[in-house]
């Protein structure tokens, strides 16, 4: 008996096509066990126009003492440097956030959280499984650039 191949050779083109199909399906198919939140009620165009979202860079991040979920972030907004307290400590390591470009809601009324004045809100998306992802502008976007 002559030795032969056990498996048929697969060309790179075929592998690439299959990978692309998997990636497309992963992006468009929601797992049946996970459901998305329903849409919130409509707001007027005027209300939307009052929202000021800008590109910013996280300069420094640290845990808020005696809390499990809070991080204190120092951000450069292009207009100023400000502090934002965010409930993301369970999802992100503060040491890895410095230099990250983010989108920030600038004109949210300041709030005191655990004795820290928070001046804005960092935008994140949340999957139905609870995983969080920063809404990230391109790296070349300048701080202070409006997000429209």
What is the CATH superfamily name and number for domain 46-134?
A: Nucleic acid-binding proteins (2.40.50.140)
d(CA 52, CA 72): 21
d(CA 45, CA 49): 6
Q: Is the pLDDT of residue 140 over 60?
A: yes
| Confidence (pLDDT) at 61 | 98
Answer left, alpha or beta for residue 85, where phi above 0 means left and psi between -120 and 50 means alpha. Answer: beta
| Confidence (pLDDT) at 142 | 97
In the chain, what are the domain boundaries? 46-134
The pTM of the full predicted model, rounded to 2 decimals, is 0.74
| Confidence (pLDDT) at 118 | 98
């Amino acid at each position: 008996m002559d030795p032969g191949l056990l498996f048929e050779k697969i060309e790179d083109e075929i592998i690439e096509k299959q990978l692309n199909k998997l990636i497309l399906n992963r992006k468009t198919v929601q797992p049946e066990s996970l459901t998305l939140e329903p849409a919130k009620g409509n707001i007027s165009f005027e209300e939307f126009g009052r929202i000021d979202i800008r590109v910013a860079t996280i300069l420094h991040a640290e845990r808020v003492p005696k809390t499990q979920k809070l991080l204190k972030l120092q951000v450069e907004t292009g207009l100023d440097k400000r502090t934002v307290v965010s409930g993301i400590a369970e999802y992100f390591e503060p040491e890895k956030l410095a230099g990250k470009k983010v989108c920030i809601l600038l004109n949210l009324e300041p709030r005191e959280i655990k004795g820290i004045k928070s001046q804005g809100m960092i935008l994140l998306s949340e999957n139905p499984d609870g995983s969080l992802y920063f809404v990230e502008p391109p790296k070349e976007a300048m701080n202070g650039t409006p997000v429209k």
